[in-house]
Amino acid sequence: MFGRSLTTLAALCLVGGAPLAHAQDKPTDPQIAHIAYTAGVIDIEAAKLAVEKSQTKDVVDFANGMIRDHEAVNVQALDLVKKLNVTPEDNATSKALTEAANKKRGELASLDGAAFDKAYVENEVAYHAQVNEALENLLIPSAQNPELKDLLETGLKMFQGHQAHAEHVAAELE
Amino acid sequence: MYITCSAWRLAIALVLPLGVAQGQAETVQVIIDKLVFTPGTINAKVGDTIEWVNKDAIAHTATVKGRWEVMIPARKTVSQHLDNTEAVDFYCRFHPNMVGRLTVEK
């Protein structure tokens, strides 16, 4: 569900559709900064839920890794926007991301045990895949500031790593 | 006295070459920057030390599945002494898209 929403979002953004219609055909740097930061916060929130609910060491370790990495990168992102004197700007994509994440978190919160582990890890694979697609096809090509672009590129490698890690954990759960 | 000095000279003469031989052990630096191991292919000898230098703001590992793992915290350097010959692929357990190859020879 969440993955599908993001795909739709990415597709809409790519064709300059509804969510970003007012921003011409691509997001501005302040919007990109906000989207990237929001994407990190969403994963941290999901991970906190997993740490709270899961009894499986691999899942809890993975979730703690998500919290550690995304918090570190978001600190870097905040340092960068401060340095660049850019104020992250809320936008339709960030709002839609948050809305979809809240819905997903509600679904996850209603699950327990192995069903929770499976749903959480599968969503992590799908979520990272969709964010990677948005980073590669929309956010990185649209970023104007070289330092922002650089941070997004590092973020992409990290997200790709998380996707691979989530796939490993998912395989272990099978 | 004279004998003692000679004995010392002999002892030093015998020990020095050994010292030089041991001093050949090298330190190989592997830089981790933006989720990439550089160099990605490491060739070392038994007795050498790898210095894993993590320049990223996030923690990494150098892991050889089922054999060993070195934890490399954010912005830290961790040393690993190479005791055995081996030819292995390693990766970061947190970001398995980070990979490298280590060959340790006698």
> ipTM of the assembly?
0.81
Residue identified by tokens 């809305």 is A99
Q: Give residue B24's pLDDT.
A: 83
Show residues of chain B in contact with A160, CB under 8 Å: 95, 97
Q: Report whether pLDDT(B32) > 70.
A: yes
Chain B residues in contact with A162 (beta carbon < 8 A): 95
Under the banding of pLDDT at 50, 70 and 90, the label for residue A5 is: very low
- Contacts for B42 with CB less than 8 Å, ≥ 6 apart: B28, B30, B50, B100, B101, B102, B103
Amino acid A22: pLDDT: 42
Strand boundaries in B27-76, DSSP class E: 27-32, 37-38, 41-45, 49-54, 60-64, 68-72
Q: Pick the closest to residue A77 from A63, A87, A67 (CA basis).
A: A87
Could you tell me which of A131, A117, A112 has the C-alpha nearest to residue A32?
A131
- B26: which DSSP letter? -
Q: Report CA-CA distances (Å) from B88 to A146, A159, B103.
A: 37, 26, 6
- Among the partner-chain residues B57, B95, B96, the one whose CB lies closest to the CB of A72 is B57
Tens of pLDDT, residue by residue over B49-71, are 999 999 999 999 999 999 999 99
Write down the mean pLDDT value for chain B: 87
Task: Tell me how close the Cα of A18 comes to any Cα of chain B, in angstroms.
Answer: 34
pLDDT at position A12 is: 39
Distance, in Å, from the CA atom of B1 to the CA atom of B15, rounded to the nearest integer, reads: 21
Q: Which candidate from A68, A76, A154 shows the least CB-CB separation from B35?
A: A154
pLDDT tens figures, B66-90: 999 999 999 999 999 999 999 999 9
**pLDDT confidence of residue B4:** 53
- Please give the biggest Cα pair distance in chain B: 67
pTM here is 0.81
Q: Tell me: the pLDDT tens digits for A45-62?
A: 999 999 999 999 999 999
**Rounded mean pLDDT of A117-122?**
98
Name the average pLDDT for chain A.
88
Instruction: Residue A47: name the closest of A73, A75, A70 by CA.
Output: A70
Q: Which residues in chain B touch residue A44, judged by CB atoms under 8 angstroms apart?
A: none
Return the pLDDT at A18: 38
Q: Which residues of A touch B56 (CB under 8 A)?
A: 154
Q: Is the pLDDT of residue B104 over 70?
A: yes
- In this complex, how many residue pairs, one in chain A and one in chain B, have their CB atoms less than 8 Å apart? 43
> CB of A65 within 8 Å of any CB in chain B?
yes
| Strand-pair partners of B102 | B42, B88
B57, B74, B95 member nearest A161 (Cβ): B95
Contact B82, B68 (CB under 8 A): no
Closest residue to A161, CB basis, from B57, B74, B94: B94
For residue A75, what is the nearest residue in chain B, using CA coordinates? B57
